[in-house]
Amino acid sequence: MSSGIESVLTETRVFGPFERVAATAHISGMDAYRALYDEADRDPEGFWARQARENLIWDKPFTTVLDESNKPFYRWFPDGELNVSANCLDRHLGTPVADKTAIIFEADDGEVTRITYRELHARVCQLANAIKSLGYQTGDRAIIYLPMSIEAVVAMQACARLGITHSVVFGGFSSKSLHERCVDVGATLVITADEQRRGGRAIPLKRAVDEALSQPGGEAVRHVIVYRRTGGAVDWNEGRDLWLHDVLEGQSNECAPVPVNAEHPLFILYTSGSTGKPKGVQHSSAGYLLMCLLTMKWTFDIKNDDIFWCTADVGWVTGHSYIVYGPLAAGATQIMFEGVPTYPTPARFWEMIQRHQCTIFYTAPTAIRSLIKAAESNEEHHPRKFDLTSLRIIGSVGEPINPEAWMWYFTNVGRERCPVLDTWWQTETGVHMITPLPGATPLKPGSCTLPLPGIDAAVVDESGREVEPGRGGFLVVKRPWPAMIRTIWGDPERFKKSYFPPEHNGYYLAGDGAQRDTDGYFWIMGRIDDVLNVSGHRLGTMEVESAMVAHPLVAEAAVVGRPDATTGEAVVAFVVLKRPLPQGDEANEIARELRDWVGREIGPIAKPREIRFGENLPKTRSGKIMRRLLRLVAQDQPITQDVSTLENPAILTQLSQSY
């Protein structure tokens, strides 16, 4: 749970409505929101059918809206056919959008590249033709391990054009994580780059691909297409590796989009769960795209002249829905940024908003919190110093935003003129679920406010009964929605068990704790399972624990989250070594070694902030690790609970020392 929770519970401020935004909004005023919500509530299938007909271009119209015959494996528009890439690109070709800028790409070093919809369409067609000529077809799976780049958008869209299911792996994941995903998804094609550039540094990507594919199962990948980003040296596997610029040579600008079934898996995106390995969240084509487009209109109120900027990486769901699919389907102009918010200075975001006249800005609380710190320590980096008057709407995603950060964002970035959209959603939900609408919803700092039309969200107790306002419980969604997760790739049983446990009446269980207030507003309290949220990135405690115990020195490890003012949560690892308790320099040395190890096993985002060594871990007499106690120890809180059941109470002193 975030450190902001206590202040959340006493929050009473209300902001809005925002007349300037409401005047032209797609959904203007609470009455309009309620009317749409009620329409969806009365006749969900009729509502979604209307939206799907009005917003998507179908090659074969659907006649069935929702197939519930095999719950919870819901199928939406199951006899319809379309192509996602045609719905993002071709639909604009005969319109004035064709020659509008689709992407304003700003590189790490500040170089700006613009591409129009017509040019993007041509690039996607060329790559699709190249992939086709290598023998790939509908149903194959491709891993995309690319930096933030127009090429990443092109690669994902080219896969979608051919009905090849993509699985994007964030460039910060290690070769080991990449290998696991390649094998699990059964990839035969990998698209990567020589290196990525972030914060002035070049970080190798191709090398990680080489390492991943040298492991068992890696030989299934027939081709690696390599985008030359930096020109850094790479090893070359003749016959398997191909330069992107070589495969594109001579390819036609036209490639007919392949119509696929509405339920065809557009992508699989791995995310952490409370147990076991990361799960491959499978998304559909039609239902997913429909809601990407609808939320661009509803939540972001996208207009023809907007300059939209979502700062997420394409390796996360936010980048999928709000860079690659939603904005393009909506025909929007968007900014895409290669680098990091603090390079060359922590004013980079504010400079870019000013430079590109950004109107809608969407980022993560962790970025906001780190920029607050930077702005407060150096006036030159304060958003006040920049002309941010182009902004109309500002948003937040990925973790709870504490009211203090919300107020700072609202005051200093939005200048009290722009609604702050605190959007609650998940990799599994595909798109926004609970969020304010900029032209309608009065805002309360720290609350994601109300569910979107068609989303039947609720807070329930252990037995699936709705709880009273003001009482905490499990956040659930009672009815299926078109963009929902379809299954966990290769593990339908785990899908059922994780998200539709029988005691919850067949409701979708989000894994978050929440409560509603008397206005029906939702307040997210953080994860209720063993999933951590570090800088908006999901991490399973089990995942980090199993990486740690794979190290030859480690006998046992327990990982917990500790609230952190900047990153939301920080990873704290309690470790028992196979050698005597280390002290001083030796302990520091081993801690550094273990951190690097976890970085290599999972990726730098999983590196524990603190490591604490003990001769053993606090366990009950029946042998269970007392995690609740460890969470208190991690926060350096006084232990008031009875520890007499501990096998060895003395170790609490050992564990209070962090490295």
- Cβ-based nearer residue to ligand WTA, 234 or 458: 458
Single residue of 498, 533, 541, 658 touching ligand WTA by CB under 6 A: 533
* Distance of closest approach, residue 409 Cβ to ligand WTA, in angstroms: 13
The residue range among 21-29, 236-244, 384-392, 510-518 that interacts with ligand WTA, by the rule CB under 6 A, is: 510-518
- Least distance CB 2 / ligand WTA (angstroms): 8
Alpha-carbon distance of 470 to 472, in angstroms, equals: 7
Cβ atoms of 246 and 118 closer than 8 Å: no
Residue of the chain from 121, 486, 527, 562 that contacts ligand WTA (CB under 6 A): 527
The residue from 184, 399, 543, 564 that contacts ligand WTA (CB under 6 A) is: 399
Q: Which of 157, 299, 363, 423 binds ligand WTA (CB under 6 A)?
A: 423
| 50 marked among binding-site residues | no
Q: Does 168 bind ligand WTA (CB under 6 A)?
A: no
**Pick from 58, 130, 150: which is nearest to 142 by CA?**
130
Q: Is 282 in the site for ligand WTA (CB under 6 A)?
A: no
Could you say which residues in the range 218-257 bind ligand WTA, by CB under 6 A?
Answer: none
Give the interface segment with ligand WTA, choosing from 102-110, 207-215, 311-319, 491-499 (CB under 6 A). 311-319
Q: Is 535 annotated as a binding-site member?
A: yes
Q: Do you find a cis peptide bond into 344, omega within 30 degrees of 0?
A: yes
Looking at beta carbons only, is 410 or 425 nearer to ligand WTA? Answer: 425
Contacting ligand WTA (CB under 6 A), which of 177, 318, 447, 535?
318
Question: 163 near 260, Cβ under 8 Å?
Answer: yes
427 is in an annotated binding site: yes
Angstrom distance (rounded) from CA 629 to CA 153: 45
Longest dimension (CA), the chain: 75
Comparing every residue's Cβ against ligand WTA, the nearest one is 427
Q: How far apart are the first and last CA of the chain?
A: 23
* Shortest distance, position 363 Cβ to ligand WTA, whole Å: 12
HSE-CB for 223 with a 13 A CA cutoff = 19
d(CA 144, CA 315): 9
Q: Is 359 annotated as a binding residue?
A: no
Tell me: does residue 422 bind ligand WTA (CB under 6 A). yes
Residue 167 host element (H or E): strand 165-168
333 or 396: CB nearest ligand WTA = 396
Residues 6+ apart with CB under 8 A from 94: none
Cis peptide leading into 17, omega within 30 of 0? Answer: yes
Is residue 400 near ligand WTA by the rule CB under 6 A? yes
Question: Is 425 near ligand WTA (CB under 6 A)?
Answer: yes
| Alpha helices (runs of H) in 310-398, residue ranges in sequence order | 317-319, 326-329, 348-356, 365-377
CB 526 within 8 A of CB 512: yes
Q: Is the sign of the CA dihedral 66, 70, 72, 78 positive or negative?
A: negative
Q: Contact between 448 and ligand WTA (CB under 6 A)? A: yes
| Residue from 158, 524, 594, 651 binding ligand WTA (CB under 6 A) | 524
Tell me which stretch binds ligand WTA (CB under 6 A): 350-358, 366-374, 392-400, 437-445. Answer: 392-400
User: Does 315 engage in binding with ligand WTA (CB under 6 A)?
Assistant: no
Length of the chain: 659
306 is a site residue for ligand WTA (CB under 6 A) = no
Chain-centroid distance, C-alpha 557: 27
Distance separating alpha carbons of residues 470 and 475, to the nearest angstrom? 13
353 Cβ contact list (under 8 Å, min separation 6): 309, 361, 386, 388, 390, 391
427 sits near ligand WTA (criterion: CB under 6 A): yes
Does 322 interact with ligand WTA (rule: CB under 6 A)?
no
**CA 99 from centre of chain:** 30
CA–CA gap between residue 289 and residue 482 (Å, rounded) = 9
> Which lies closer to ligand WTA via its Cβ, residue 279 or residue 612?
279
How many residues touch ligand WTA (CB under 6 A)?
A: 22
Q: Considering the complex, state which of residue 260 and residue 291 has its C-beta at the smaller distance from ligand WTA.
A: 291
**Is residue 425 a known part of a binding site?**
yes
Tell me the closest approach of the beta carbon of residue 248 to ligand WTA, in angstroms: 33
Write the DSSP symbol of residue 98. Answer: G
Stretch that binds ligand WTA, among 386-394, 496-504, 505-513, 559-567 (CB under 6 A): 505-513
Q: Which is nearer to ligand WTA, 494 or 619 (CB)?
A: 494
Which part of the chain contacts ligand WTA (CB under 6 A), choosing from 48-56, 249-257, 398-406, 610-618?
398-406
Q: What is the DSSP letter of 357?
A: T
Q: Is the separation of the CB atoms in 448 and 422 below 8 Å?
A: yes
Is residue 225 within 8 Å of residue 190, measured between CB atoms? yes
Place of tokens 């604490």: 612
| Cα–Cα distance measured from residue 642 to residue 645, given in angstroms and rounded to the nearest whole number | 7
Task: Report the distance separating Cα 547 and Cα 558, nearest Å.
Answer: 11
Residue 157 assigned to a binding site: no
**Which CB sits closer to ligand WTA, 259 or 604?**
604
Contact indicator for 229, 148 with CB cutoff of 8 Å: no
Q: Which residues are annotated as a binding site for CoA?
A: 198-201, 318, 535
Residues that bind ligand WTA (CB under 6 A): 271, 316-318, 397-400, 422-427, 448, 510-512, 524, 527, 533, 538
Q: Which residues are annotated as a binding site for ATP?
A: 398-400, 422-427, 512, 527, 538
Q: Which residues are annotated as a binding site?
A: 198-201, 318, 398-400, 422-427, 512, 527, 535, 538, 549, 551, 554
